[in-house]
Amino acid sequence: MKRKLKMGMVGGGIGAFIGGVHRRAATIDGQVELVCGAFSSTPEKSKASGEELYLPPERVYADYNEMILKEKELPEGERMDFVSVVTPNHMHFAPAKMALENGFPVVCDKPLAFTIEEAQELRELVHKTGLPFCITYNYTGYPMVKQAKAMIKEGKLGKIRKVVVEYPQGWLSDRLEDTEQKQASWRTDPSKAGIANCMGDIGTHAANLAEYISGLEITEMCADLTSFVGGRTLEDDGNVLLHFNNGAKGILHASQISVGEENNLNIRVYGETGGLTWHQIEPNTLIYKTPDTTQILRTAVGPISGSASLHTRTPAGHPEGYIEAFANVYLNFIYTLKAKLAGQEPAEEYLDFPDVDEGVRGMAFIKTVVEANTSEKKWYPYVKY
C-alpha cells in the first residue's frame, strides 16, 4: 500500500488528555493521517475540536454513529481505514462494536470495555470478522521492555521465580475530582470508570506488563484495595500478591495516593540464574544481574534483541519515552493492517501489539482483583473468561 492509512477518532476532543497522545503516537512515523472524527459527546464540542485539528467540516461528525455510517459510504482510499476509540471507559464498547460490524479495524484505549461481558462480545466479534484490533497497553512498546521479554524467552534468567511490579502515582492524594478536573472526575465515577479506579486505570497496566515481560500468566491473587480519600467510592490504592502458572510468586502495587510520585512504573523479574530491573522514568536502561555481574543494557547500544532494535528510532543517548512507546504499539498495528489490506500475511514482528484477547484478560484482571478484595478466600482464582 503506497499511501498513509486514514484514521477516524471517537473522543479525544478539547480538554481530553489521551486523545492527543493517540494522535501524536499514530502519526509520528508518517504512516497515518487523521481524516475525520466524532470528538465529543456534543456536536458543538466535536465541531470545535475538528476546527482546532484543521479538519474539513464535512468530516467532523456529531456522533460516532454518523461518522461510521457516512465514512462507510465513501470510496476506498478516501474513507477512514480504521477507528481509534479514546473515550472514557463506559464509551469504549459501543463505537468499537459498531466499527467492527461495519468493517473497520479498531484501536481502543484500555481498558477494553466497561464490563467483562462487553469485552467478551468484542472478542467474539473480532474473531468472527478477522479484523485487526489493538488495545493500547502502551508500556509494552518500550525497546528495553521488549529486550527484557526477549532475554527471558532466551532463558537468560532461568526459570522465573518472582515478579515485582509497581505503579505508584500521587495525583489523586486529595479530592481533585471536586475541582471539576476532567481526568479525575470520570476516573473516580463508577458510572464512567466501572468497578475500579486505580486498578482499572493503572493496575491493569502493571498486570499486563508483568505477563508480557515474563511470558507467564497470573493464576490467582490475594488483594487488598483501599479508598483512602474520604468520600471516594472507588479504590485509590491496591496491594496484590500474585501466583503465576509456572509456580512463580509476585507482588503488584498500584497507587494514586502515593504523595510526590509522578508515574513511577517499574518492574523487577528474578529467575534461578539472573534478574532484570526496568524503570519507566529511565526507559532507555535495563539492568541485568547475575550472581557475579551487573550489566547495564542501553537502548541502541551493543548487542540487543532484534525486537528492541526494530522499535528504536533514535541514536544512542537520545531518550525515547512515552509517546515513542505508544507509537510502537500503533506502528505494529499499522503494518499489520497494511499487510491485510494488501492481501498479505503480516510479518511476525509486527504482530507484537496488544490485541483483543489481552484486552479481555485485562478486564478479567480488574474483575478478579475487585472480587478478591472482598472474598474470604486467601487466594482467589484468576478466571479465564
Residue 269 sits at φ, ψ, to 5 deg, of: -125, 130
Average pLDDT over residues 115-144: 98
pLDDT score recorded for residue 113: 97
> Is the distance from CB of 376 to CB of 111 less than 8 angstroms?
no
C-alpha cell at 172: 489523586
Average pLDDT over residues 123-138: 98
180 confidence band (pLDDT: 50, 70, 90) = confident
The three grid cell numbers given for residue 218, joined into one nine-digit string: 497470573
The reported pLDDT for the residue numbered 384 is 86
The three three-digit cell numbers of residue 320, written as one number: 525515547
Q: What is the pLDDT of residue 139?
A: 98
**Residue labelled with grid coordinates 497496566:** 205
Decide if 5-131 and 142-315+362-381 have a common fold. no
* Residue 354 pLDDT: 98
Is it true that domain 5-131 has CATH number 3.40.50.720?
yes
Residue 186 pLDDT grade (very low, low, confident, very high; cuts 50, 70, 90)? very high
Model confidence band, residue 16 (pLDDT cutoffs 50, 70, 90): confident
Q: Give the chain's radius of gyration (CA, Å).
A: 21
How far is 216 from 58, CA to CA, in rounded Å?
Answer: 48
Q: Is 175 exposed, middle or buried (0-12, 13-18, 19+ CB in 10 A)?
A: middle
pLDDT at 110: 96
Domain 142-315+362-381 has CATH 3.30.360.10: yes
What three-state secondary structure class fits 373?
helix
**Rounded to an integer, what distance in angstroms lies between the CA atom of residue 344 and that of residue 364?**
33
Cα-based distances in Å from 114 to 110, 250, 285, 292, 373: 10, 27, 35, 48, 19
pLDDT band for 303, please (50, 70, 90 cuts). Answer: confident
Classify burial at 147, counting beta carbons within 10 Å of its beta carbon; exposed 0-12, middle 13-18, buried 19 or more: buried
pLDDT (0 to 100) of residue 15: 83
DSSP assignment of 158-217: -SEEEEEEEEE--TTSS-GGGGT-HHHHHHT-HHHH-S-SHIIIIIHHHHHHHHHHH---
Distance, first Cα to last Cα, the chain: 37
Q: What is the pLDDT of residue 360?
A: 98
Helix (H, G, I), strand (E, B) or coil at 243: strand
215: left (phi over 0), alpha (psi -120 to 50) or beta: left
Helix (H, G, I), strand (E, B) or coil at 6: strand
The DSSP bridge partners found for residue 238 are: 225, 254
Q: What is the mean pLDDT of the chain?
A: 96
pLDDT given for residue 319 in this prediction = 84
Domain ranges of the chain: 5-131, 142-315+362-381
Residue 102, pLDDT above cutoff 80 = yes
What is the predicted pLDDT for the residue at 313? 92
The pLDDT assigned to 8 comes to 98
